[in-house]
Structure 1
Amino acid sequence: MAPPNHRTAHAASPQRRELYFFTLYRVLEAALLALVAFSPLGELMLEIRQPVLLQALVVVYLAAALGMVYASFRSQIPPRRQAALGLGLDLLVAGGVLATTSGSQGGIALLMLFNVGAGALILPQRAGLGFATAAALLVLGDSLLNRTFDPLNARPLAESVMFSVTYLATAVLCELLSRQVSESQALAEKRGEELANQAEINELVIRRMRTGILVVDGEHRVKVCNEAAWGLLGKPSPDRQQLADIAMDLHRALLLWRQGRGDIPRAMTLAEGAPEVLPRFVSLSLTDNLFLIFLDDSRIYSDRAEELTLATLGRLSASIAHEIRNPLAAINYSVQLLEETAVLPEADRRLLEIIHTQCQRMNGIVQDILGLARRERSQPETLDISQFARRFVDEYRASHPLETDILQAISHRSTLAMADPRHLHQVLTILVQNALTYGRMPGEPAKVTVSVPSAPPGAPPELNVLDRGPGIPSAVAEQIFTPFYTTSEHGTGLGLYIAKQLCEANQCTLSYQPVPGGGSCFRIILPPGMTLMQDDSPTGRLNLA
């Protein structure tokens, strides 16, 4: 905060306004003195001792007053300096009028009271009190001179003292008033700036909200429209202001709501190709002048409902899976004991193989469900995915007999990426198993490739799993990552869903790409990896590559 005897810079505009009215009052004073100096009425009001000198003084004062009016809003001179010059001129002219007239002390003293107060409003505390003291000394000096040289026309000394005290009191009170005005102005500007900043923040938040927001007036003219609402309305031209011209269904729904009718459509499509929205209406005033319309994308509610359903289903499935594993293990163990029987008919042995196969299938389903319910948080680290892909293929071929199927890894150079190795291993296992199971032409062995293509500079690293099978129809490809969606009677529909969820947990993207000429490609785009390389400079600093 500024010291009490100084004004802050933000008060320049109010000071200039005060200076302007101060200069107008000075013109009024000059006009009154001109009436006294040049009109026959002046001789009736005062005794003019030196008329020529008084007239010259008044002419100069009037011209100077008019010039100061012009300078108050045109000149670049600071308002305080202009006020000081004008107040000094007022005191000089007042002294000249007192010297050239007789009996004018009371009127001049009253006229100067306003000048002293106005000067104290604009000037600093010391300057205001200084000019007030000078006016008091002027009045007291004139009174003492009249007592000395013209005692018959001299006014009481007490009157001069009262005027002097009044000048000083007026200067103090006006300075205090000016300080409060400046502080109030500063507080108002600060609050105004805060409100402006808050308004900008609110506007930015509303603009970036995913919920569409419209504000319309009583005649259904659009006043505010955020980006989400603009997209849901089909991106209309800014020239279209009438809601009926932009979205007739929404216009009718608002009319029904204003009439208090309950048959408002729950969902509607406002533009071709736009998603369905759920409109909600709120009145912003009691006079029905402004209305707030929320346009909620119905897909958000669908996604939330799906998330809740999947979460509930995952917990339920996990609890059921726990109960299934124990009897399933007992059945599997019993089958193994029966298979060790020396004398067993071939038909019974075939039945035991079926039981064993179905137990393995059920165990796989339980493992998928438990993996969906107990997914651990990712712990990404920098990996050489080329080396990772080759090691994965070697381990998979060692633990899974492929017979005539072919599984190979292709990588051209070392490629660094960020991922959790456990999650990435699980994703590749799911993709490779699907490719070996479904990515084969009838009667032919499967040919599956795990490749790491060479990415151009600046492009994110990729990891692809390709097969040369029949491919996936476009209608099916749109839903393959949906949980529990499967076209096989032996599948659970959870494998690709779990793979996609694991990729998203590692800030990766998993997508299906058809291969020209037949086949499928599941592409994983990973974040680029980081490594610390030793610098060759003498300092031996570590650089991030």
Structure 2
Amino acid sequence: MPPAIAAIEVDDADRALRRELYFFTLYRLLEAAMLVLVLFGPVADMLGPPRHDLLARAVALSYLFLATLLFLFGRRAGDLRGHALAGIATDLFFGFLAIHAVPAAGTGIALMLIFNVGAAALLLPARLGLGAALVAVLGIMVEYFWSTTLDESSRLLAEPIMFSIGYLAIATLTSILGRQMRSSYDLAERRGVETAQLTEVNELIIRRLRTGVLLVDGHNRVRLANEAATLLLGDAGDGHRDLGMALPELSKRLAAWREDGKADESPLQVAPDQPEVVPRFTRLLAGSDQTLVFLDDTSLVSRRAESMTLATLGRFSASLAHEIRNPLAAINYAVQLLEESDDVATADRRLLEIIRQQGVRMNGIVENVLGLARREPAKPDHVELVAFTRHFVDDYRAGHPLEDDTLRATATQPRIGTLIDPRQLHQVLTVLVHNALIYGRVAGEPARVGLHVHLDDHGHPVVDVVDRGPGIPERVAQQLFRPFFTTSGHGTGLGLYIARELCRANQAALDYVPLPAGGSCFRIRLSGPALKKAPD
């Protein structure tokens, strides 16, 4: 149960009975006024003299005074139960004293007390309400036997017995009713809290939607706009702005949709520096003049379509690559045999070399496509990055002669641990270092590539692959990680794409960072803080 709901106490449910408490105190004041009228008004002679004149007058005036106080402080009382207990105690005490002092009005007073007992049982918990009824039964019986002892009374025993039954019956019924009212109020409070929480969740979801949402009233004013819509509208979406002034073209499309019900779903440029959006319209409620406008970002739609296309293309390419692999292996084997033969002319050997090189290139393309389509899930392990990058440099030098090029690893700390799949990290570094050695060089000079391990401002491990080449133009840098994008006639355009996907599989990020002094930096930013201890 949410804390906000659990915090609802029984005392909070008592607030539902505040109005009943007010009418209870008002009725008590009416009872006291009638008792005073009976004793001091013109009807006093009709009832005959009281049994105890002084007691009767004192009881009537005291009861009126206390009833007035209870009425005045009843609506401001913080403790409903305490006020109800004080009220029913006052009613029973002065009521039975009045019955004894004015026997002629005793039946009427006892009858009016039925409402007091019922009201107390309604306002109080069951045990207190029934307790008040039992006190009333005891009081009516004690007063009867007291009156019978003092003088001969014409009242029959059946009368107090019937009143006792009435007190118990009305207390039982109103106690059940009070419990149901408290339960209903408590349920309503809980549902209200849940509804408020759901409303907050819905508002949060709408605010965080990547789709812009606008609420436009019948006067073409923007009533509400979520964060995505506010970014599109700017200051024009704040408050109750006119849609015609903020987005004239969107306002025209909304007016046309309201007239004929047909929406123009062609992309709309809301601002020069904002992406295109596709507007969709729907009424907030049937017959309402308020309209919900959804602004779908076309770039998001394009990315979703691109992801679906890539997934389909990946499956198709994997099947195609598998079929190409067998004849390609046969071609490479035949070329190898021809190169070893002495019957091949010298001029033809150049052709065989071209065939072998292109076969190797095609095999690389097949391997990249298969790796993209059948990429295994990451298997994170504890990795000490400083030692890992140094071992990687040694392994790369052993398998790829660098000649005049240089490749070295540096670090700001002796040990930096992290959690990542070491095999996939090795694959990512291989792609980045290979690209840096090929493209990250100044013409006529050897390549200088470095792997630098350090911590960012948040304490997260970072691996930078840096070269001292000419850098990458901005228009090219924006497309570096797109699949099949390449500026080289010998590349596949899949290396950087696969490298970024492998990083994402390890909750890491791969980005290109231009260097002010020249050159390029591909930064692997790992998630989570650096581990204090990692195995060598």
TM exceeding 0.5? yes
Spell out the pairing of 1:124-523 with structure 2 (5 A cutoff). 124-136=125-137, 138-139=139-140, 154-234=154-234, 236=236, 238-403=238-403, 405-412=404-411, 413-416=413-416, 417-442=418-443, 444-455=444-455, 458-523=458-523
* 2:119 paired residue number: 118
* 1:541 paired residue number: none
**Matched pairs, number:** 525
Could you tell me which amino acid in structure 2 is paired with residue 172 of structure 1? T
What is the CA deviation profile of residues 265-288 of structure 1, one whole-angstrom value per residue up to 9, with x for unaligned ones? 432233442222222223232221
Shift of 1:67: 0.8
Compute the RMSD of aligned alpha carbons. Answer: 3.1
What is the CA deviation profile of residues 40-88 of structure 1, one whole-angstrom value per residue up to 9, with x for unaligned ones? 2321344445555433332222111101112213345x33333333333
Could you tell me which amino acid in structure 1 is paired with residue 116 of structure 2? N
* 1:44 paired residue number: 46
Shift of 1:28: 0.7
Could you tell me which amino acid in structure 2 is paired with residue 378 of structure 1? A
Shift of 1:420: 2.4
Q: Distance in 2 between matches of 1:136 and 1:514?
A: 93
For the 8 Å contact 2:437–2:448, the answer to whether it is kept is: yes
Quick check: 1:68 aligned with 2:49? no
What is the CA deviation profile of residues 135-175 of structure 1, one whole-angstrom value per residue up to 9, with x for unaligned ones? 44555566667677776x83455444333322222222222
Q: Distance in 2 between matches of 1:334 and 1:281?
A: 65
Q: In the superposition, relative to structure 1, how do residues 158 and 252 fare at CA in structure 2: closer, same or farther (>3 Å)?
A: same
Q: Distance in 2 between matches of 1:345 and 1:514?
A: 50
Shift of 1:377: 1.7
User: Percent of aligned positions with the same letter in both sequences?
Assistant: 48
What is the CA deviation profile of residues 378-407 of structure 1, one whole-angstrom value per residue up to 9, with x for unaligned ones? 22333333333333333333333444x313
Q: In the superposition, relative to structure 1, how do residues 499 and 139 fare at CA in structure 2: closer, same or farther (>3 Å)?
A: closer
Question: Which SS does the other structure have where 1:408 is aligned?
Answer: strand
Q: Distance in 2 between matches of 1:391 and 1:247?
A: 59
Could you tell me which amino acid in structure 1 is paired with residue 92 of structure 2? L
Could you tell me which amino acid in structure 2 is paired with residue 440 of structure 1? R
Shift of 1:297: 1.8
Shift of 1:234: 2.6
Q: Distance in 2 between matches of 1:526 and 1:168?
A: 75
Unpaired runs of 5+ in structure 1?
1-6, 534-543
* 1:537 paired residue number: none
Q: In the superposition, relative to structure 1, how do residues 31 and 490 fare at CA in structure 2: closer, same or farther (>3 Å)?
A: same
Question: Which SS does the other structure have where 1:259 is aligned?
Answer: helix
For the 8 Å contact 1:206–1:213, the answer to whether it is kept is: yes
Q: Distance in 2 between matches of 1:517 and 1:130?
A: 90
Question: Which SS does the other structure have where 1:279 is aligned?
Answer: strand
For the 8 Å contact 1:72–1:82, the answer to whether it is kept is: yes
Q: In the superposition, relative to structure 1, how do residues 337 and 363 fare at CA in structure 2: closer, same or farther (>3 Å)?
A: same
Q: In the superposition, relative to structure 1, how do residues 161 and 204 fare at CA in structure 2: closer, same or farther (>3 Å)?
A: same
For the 8 Å contact 1:432–1:448, the answer to whether it is kept is: no
Q: In the superposition, relative to structure 1, how do residues 504 and 82 fare at CA in structure 2: closer, same or farther (>3 Å)?
A: closer
Could you tell me which amino acid in structure 1 is paired with residue 410 of structure 2? S
Q: Distance in 2 between matches of 1:9 and 1:227?
A: 40
Unpaired runs of 5+ in structure 2?
1-8
Question: Which SS does the other structure have where 1:383 is aligned?
Answer: strand
For the 8 Å contact 2:16–2:181, the answer to whether it is kept is: no
Q: In the superposition, relative to structure 1, how do residues 39 and 210 fare at CA in structure 2: closer, same or farther (>3 Å)?
A: same
Q: In the superposition, relative to structure 1, how do residues 255 and 305 fare at CA in structure 2: closer, same or farther (>3 Å)?
A: same
Shift of 1:237: 6.2
For the 8 Å contact 2:449–2:468, the answer to whether it is kept is: no
What is the CA deviation profile of residues 341-398 of structure 1, one whole-angstrom value per residue up to 9, with x for unaligned ones? 3243322222222222222222222222222222222223333333333333333333
> Could you tell me the TM-score, scaled by structure 2's length?
0.87
Q: In the superposition, relative to structure 1, how do residues 342 and 272 fare at CA in structure 2: closer, same or farther (>3 Å)?
A: closer
For the 8 Å contact 1:233–1:274, the answer to whether it is kept is: no
Q: Distance in 2 between matches of 1:130 and 1:509?
A: 72
Could you tell me which amino acid in structure 1 is paired with residue 367 of structure 2? Q
Quick check: 1:18 aligned with 2:20? yes
Could you tell me which amino acid in structure 2 is paired with residue 24 of structure 1? L
* 1:30 paired residue number: 32
For the 8 Å contact 2:393–2:409, the answer to whether it is kept is: no
For the 8 Å contact 1:378–1:423, the answer to whether it is kept is: yes
Q: Distance in 2 between matches of 1:382 and 1:140?
A: 86
